[in-house]
Structure 1
């Protein structure tokens, strides 16, 4: 700060002046000292006040609206309170989310078993570089009519840390391990998978059609009552009337479950094309569900689709050769009914999810209801873990 103080100007004297007078003249009086201190400290106090005000405004904005969570600016983590759970008016969590143990790891981060108050929940933790996937997934969960028994129950989101240490949480219902499937249970899981996918693909009123784009057994969770729900919408695509597919990339998903046209890079960027891609993956998941059913080839070891042909970790080129060029599909035992329409090489020949649901319903075991009631989200499993239990 370039300020001119009268006391200092009075101290400028000719060079031939006596030394005693120079020393006396440069010593400011008490009023001058106070002026110097005031001019120096006042801007500092003002700056400090501005910083405090900005911080308080930032904290207020973080807790002001649950809707702001899509931008990562608010936190659901609050001190524990007597009303642990969700505030029905604001939609904000009022209990601390505490991570307990890692249950799975995937491309976009780790999935933890956690505690929300006294309740078990699942927390999918996205690193900073995958923030866009965190934003995309919660946008799918917040679509109209996504609160469905065959769709994983969504609770909320959270942001932890700042700058390069930031991570993003997606909080959902938690589902623990179950057991080997009986025929009735396998049928129920297949019915829930078909119905959940049909609900996603349906365009009804305020709900747009949604293509999952990474449908596989690891993204199907089993509840405690052996009903199932679909999870993981990080790559999902929403089709709004009058809008295109945006900048959607065609070759996404898990290689083993990619339809021939995806592997071959020959996708038509239309709603129907993306829904048919889901149906190819659905056929493989239904094949896995049938393979997990107790009593069907009990001596056979569980394998992922085409695992015998391409191994446990196939490359994109290996999948292209097997699925596109050689048109290979998983082996169907003689005692199974052969319905290959879902994984037909010709995308337009594949069944829709609603047609699959009708066919699965026709196979309903006696005394097994088709309608699956809403059940408390307490604790069940990933379908692929059934195989691991059978092998143990």
Structure 2
């Protein structure tokens, strides 16, 4: 949020005489003052794809907004990394022609004043529109950002404290009534007027983007009342501009047409009213969504007296006074504008960044807590990360996850890093980001990825990890051209390392942690192919006494979620055990559970594995490149453990401490598994792909349970 404060300016007669001719020429230019706000999401190069997309957007969005009933439009052009998200809103009292012309100018002004910025917002003084575009998907949220507070340079003469208090009450009544009316209107737009005897008439305008709900609009406008108290006390006018909602009041009519909401209360002596008497009472009208003002009755004769004064003045005022006064007033205002502009150019605008105090208290608190961590954790500056990643260049892109892209970087001392950049359109918000930062900063284990630090700067939220050169596990086990690079010995080390990492999270760390998103792409590999569990954005922390939790918002990855979590939102350490079992079957078979290619008549890896196990043919599950390297007994034991982990009932699954013990105990007899979850997902037609080509004579190795399987309802 930015606050622009105009300064008191000396006015000398000679100044007007010198600059008057120049002002007459500049008058059209000063008619619409521009307030640009340039973002911090990097810049684009001339003649680039991003610039071409921006030019395309500048030709389509103004027409789209102008043709809309609400004079509002959003649009998205291009693909990542050159995608542009845009929002255009014209004032509700504007017309289609003025709206389109204003937005065309706005695109030009944005590219002139925020040259090559990927993120820009443009507001105007009198032009009836607002424009925002960015390479970050701000359209996915209702966050009101790029806030600008503008205050009149003139104060009302309120020398008597009671009059000042009364005016403040009147102003707040006007703002509150207008906000209610705007939020409840279909266009999210209202203008209003407040008339009170012996006080200046107040005019107000409030508007939200029409895609907001009434509650969202109210929530957007609510903080503006704080700005009014802090910056506009006793001022003749002021406004707060944001990308999602706008508020303005003045002592003169600044909008087109008649006010939609009239609040009239004529009182002869407002300061004399005691504190218990409401100056204005506003009640909602039962016939309309908009609140209908109900005025307190004026004292006898007050209304007649006021009408008489205004009526006589309007009839007796000579027309030549108006003809002379209007140009003089325009010239005087131009002088003021020009002098203010000169002073701002010379001294600079007084800009107060109040976002930290009013908009981002959580982020400040997080930074404050992280600064108290050990010296191994670093709070990186955004410029440092940009240099390390070459401004998040395409050449440095390592991959694209659900929460955003990951880039390779190099610090000045030569240390290689991996930077996870939280995308605004991702499902991960600040809560998940904070969770991941504070959680991993406390964890120390050789099988957990090391978080070196983070960066929080405006919309940018970055996690800086140690760089692991061998990418993630899925890069190897699911690609037939790379599967031979991970022989059985490497896979065994990977399996045991993942198990040790989970055991640390569940039992040996200071807190009991449920990962909730364990999968092959979240297992990173270092230069020696040792596994490291990553991505703790969805992790949950339990106390030592808790065993399970529940949520209405199920998040994770299809194919790895335990049935009780996917269907009921119940998660526990056994949820991670299930995911580990799925991952173990994938490592052994080289096949994905999600998107499983049909073998025989099964639609997922779990059902196919259970079918082979029951038929005593479990070694047919093994990936071809490791069949000759692994002993049949060892393979059978690993498959047995995997099937125990994916059993349908959570209580039947082992804990990770038991899993680690079973992996390391070659001579211990293992209990046979019960049927896994989702095992009965089958197709009715015959499998067309034939039998699995790498069958082994291992019928005597794999146990065949006498379990009777009961068909369960669809959807299990």
Common fold by TM > 0.5 = yes
Aligned equivalents of 2:341, 2:565: Cα separation in 1: 63
Q: Which residue of 2 is the match for residue 208 of structure 1?
A: 511
Q: 1:54 aligns with which of 331, 348, 352?
A: 352
State the Cα distance separating 1:172 from its structure 2 match. Answer: 0.7
> For the structure 1 residues 48 and 152, does the alpha-carbon distance in structure 2 shift closer, same or farther, using more than 3 Å as the test?
farther
1:147 paired to 2:444: yes
Matches within 5 A, 1:60-79: 68=364, 70=366
1:156 paired to 2:445: no
Q: Which residue of 2 is the match for residue 101 of structure 1?
A: 396
> For the structure 1 residues 142 and 217, does the alpha-carbon distance in structure 2 shift closer, same or farther, using more than 3 Å as the test?
same
Secondary structure of 2:422's partner? strand
Larger radius of gyration: 2
> For the structure 1 residues 168 and 274, does the alpha-carbon distance in structure 2 shift closer, same or farther, using more than 3 Å as the test?
same
State the Cα distance separating 1:89 from its structure 2 match. Answer: 8.5
1:280 paired to 2:585: no
Secondary structure of 1:184's partner? helix
1:173 paired to 2:466: yes
Q: Which residue of 1 is the match for residue 273 of structure 2?
A: none
Deviations 1:157-211 (A, max 9, x none): 2245x5xxx342211112223762233222211111001011111265xx21111
Aligned equivalents of 2:560, 2:427: Cα separation in 1: 25
Aligned equivalents of 2:347, 2:547: Cα separation in 1: 49
Secondary structure of 2:379's partner? coil
Q: 1:91 aligns with which of 363, 366, 378?
A: 378
Structure 1 contact 114–122 (Cα < 8 Å) conserved = yes
Structure 2 contact 454–464 (Cα < 8 Å) conserved = yes
> For the structure 1 residues 124 and 92, does the alpha-carbon distance in structure 2 shift closer, same or farther, using more than 3 Å as the test?
closer
State the Cα distance separating 1:253 from its structure 2 match. Answer: 1.0
Aligned equivalents of 1:286, 1:69: Cα separation in 2: 40
Structure 1 contact 189–289 (Cα < 8 Å) conserved = no
Gap regions ≥5 residues in structure 2:
1-5, 14-334, 357-362, 472-481, 613-617, 621-631, 668-716
State the Cα distance separating 1:152 from its structure 2 match. Answer: 0.7
1:343 paired to 2:646: yes
Secondary structure of 1:308's partner? coil
Structure 1 contact 259–277 (Cα < 8 Å) conserved = yes
Q: Which residue of 1 is the match for residue 494 of structure 2?
A: 189
> For the structure 1 residues 261 and 330, does the alpha-carbon distance in structure 2 shift closer, same or farther, using more than 3 Å as the test?
farther
Answer 1 or 2: higher relative contact order, Cα 8 Å, separation at least 6: 1
Deviations 1:348-386 (A, max 9, x none): 11111111112222359xxxxxxxxxxxxxxxxxxxxxx
State the Cα distance separating 1:131 from its structure 2 match. Answer: 7.8
Aligned equivalents of 1:211, 1:87: Cα separation in 2: 24
> For the structure 1 residues 197 and 127, does the alpha-carbon distance in structure 2 shift closer, same or farther, using more than 3 Å as the test?
same
Structure 1 contact 189–228 (Cα < 8 Å) conserved = yes
> For the structure 1 residues 363 and 109, does the alpha-carbon distance in structure 2 shift closer, same or farther, using more than 3 Å as the test?
farther
Structure 1 contact 69–158 (Cα < 8 Å) conserved = no
Deviations 1:14-47 (A, max 9, x none): xxxxxxxxxxxxxxxxxxxxxxx99x96999699
> For the structure 1 residues 243 and 277, does the alpha-carbon distance in structure 2 shift closer, same or farther, using more than 3 Å as the test?
closer
Aligned equivalents of 1:88, 1:348: Cα separation in 2: 42
Aligned equivalents of 2:527, 2:470: Cα separation in 1: 8
State the Cα distance separating 1:230 from its structure 2 match. Answer: 0.2
> For the structure 1 residues 286 and 134, does the alpha-carbon distance in structure 2 shift closer, same or farther, using more than 3 Å as the test?
farther
Deviations 1:277-319 (A, max 9, x none): 111110111222333xxxxxxxxxx321261249xxxxxxx87
Q: 1:217 aligns with which of 491, 516, 520?
A: 520
Q: Which residue of 2 is the match for residue 308 of structure 1?
A: 597
Matches within 5 A, 1:251-262: 251-262=554-565
The answer to which of 192-201 and 96-105 deviates more is 96-105
> For the structure 1 residues 201 and 49, does the alpha-carbon distance in structure 2 shift closer, same or farther, using more than 3 Å as the test?
farther
> For the structure 1 residues 186 and 357, does the alpha-carbon distance in structure 2 shift closer, same or farther, using more than 3 Å as the test?
same
Aligned equivalents of 2:376, 2:579: Cα separation in 1: 39
Deviations 1:29-71 (A, max 9, x none): xxxxxxxx99x9699969998964635x989xxxxxxx84847
Gap regions ≥5 residues in structure 1:
8-36, 60-66, 77-85, 292-301, 311-317, 365-392
1:266 paired to 2:568: yes
Secondary structure of 1:255's partner? coil
Give TM-score scaled by structure 1 length. Answer: 0.59
Secondary structure of 1:142's partner? helix
Secondary structure of 2:420's partner? strand
Aligned equivalents of 1:189, 1:247: Cα separation in 2: 30
Secondary structure of 1:170's partner? strand
Matches within 5 A, 1:33-48: none
Query: How many pairs does the alignment contain?
Result: 291
> For the structure 1 residues 348 and 110, does the alpha-carbon distance in structure 2 shift closer, same or farther, using more than 3 Å as the test?
same
Structure 1 contact 344–350 (Cα < 8 Å) conserved = yes
